[in-house]
Amino acid sequence: MRAGGSAAAMLGLALALVLLCGARGGLGADPIIVTTPNVTSGSNVQLYCNISGAASAITGHKWIKKEAVLQSDDTSSHQTVYDLNEVNTDTSGEYVCKFLTNPPAEGIVFVTVKPHVLVYKKSEHGNEGDTGVLICKCSSYPSVTEWTWYKKENEQYLRIVNGTDNRFFIKSSGNKTELHIVNLDIEKDPGEYFCNGTNEVGQDGATVSLRVRSRLAALWPFLGIVAEVLVLVTIIFIYEKRRKPDEVLDDDDGGSAPLKSNATNHKDKNVRQRNSN
């Protein structure tokens, strides 16, 4: 009974081993793809992917970035290379190398750079009492994980905490940050602001200046137009008043017109009379 039991156990073990081997071999162990370690700087950089344990014969390669095919070939090499001219914000990103096997296999080369922070506008204007919005952007890869805002006061950068005074609000995403200043104050708010973006490679910042106009200043153009209209109306009014006596004369002239025509009528009559004579 004991011998039979151990035989069954050994059979079970053997079966398990066969299944395990089958899973690793026949059902396709994942191929191993070795890629260029993260690239953070340089020019004329070669990005490569090496495959070992491909599931089938290799019938070609593709390099893809953001769903755009950058390069493709139909060779059977176990290595594929992509030449990158320059590492910068625009070329940073995920470069996917694809081995055309069945099923296809792919690896990723990460081209990572420190943030390159840009301001939406170097200087922003707002009216007293309105909400001012300052914006910084960054399109580098990898995306910014932390944005911070500062206000420059007496040559020092004071960090702006979200929600301060219920007036300062920060809205951030991986490629953009907005500082909203509610109810702009003409005394306290104008000045230099600094945004700082940090990703896993480094950090960068940019300066935005804010100007706040008084409500009255915002009204100036409107008041100007109103004043202009008033002046025009007054001039017209005075002119009309001064014209009144002239108009009486004009009316006299007008009254004389029928006289003239009467005169001509008379002449006509005379002529006619002469003609009839």
Ligand X SMILES: *[C@@H]1O[C@H](CO)[C@@H](O)[C@H](O)[C@H]1NC(C)=O
Cβ 19 to ligand X, closest distance in Å? 32
Which of 1-9, 140-148, 218-226, 243-251 is the region at the interface with ligand X (rule: CB under 6 A)? Answer: 140-148
C-alpha distance from residue 148 to each of 167, 197, 252 (Å): 16, 7, 83
Cβ 157 to ligand X, closest distance in Å? 6
- Give me the residues paired with residue 136 across strands: 119, 177
- Give me the residues paired with residue 109 across strands: 95
Which of 2-10, 61-69, 138-146, 213-221 is the region at the interface with ligand X (rule: CB under 6 A)? Answer: 138-146
Q: Any contact of residue 80 with ligand X (CB under 6 A)?
A: no
Cβ 205 to ligand X, closest distance in Å? 5
x/- site string to ligand X, residues 40 to 79, per CB under 6 A? ----------x---------------------------xx
Cβ 197 to ligand X, closest distance in Å? 8
Task: For residue 184, count CB atoms less than 10 angstroms from its CB and return exposed for 0-12, middle for 13-18, buried for 19 or more.
Answer: buried
Q: Kindly identify the residues of this chain, within the stretch 148-167, that bind ligand X according to CB under 6 A.
A: 148, 157, 162-163
Question: Do 206 and 195 meet the contact criterion of CB atoms below 8 Å apart?
Answer: yes
d(CA 97, CA 126): 49
Cβ 173 to ligand X, closest distance in Å? 5
Number of residues that bind ligand X (CB under 6 A): 26
d(CA 213, CA 189): 11
Taking residue 159's Cβ as centre, other Cβ atoms within 10 Å add up to 11
- Give me the residues paired with residue 179 across strands: 134, 170
Residue numbers at the binding site for ligand X (CB under 6 A) = 34, 38, 50, 78-79, 110, 112, 139, 142, 146, 148, 157, 162-163, 169-175, 196, 198, 200, 203, 205
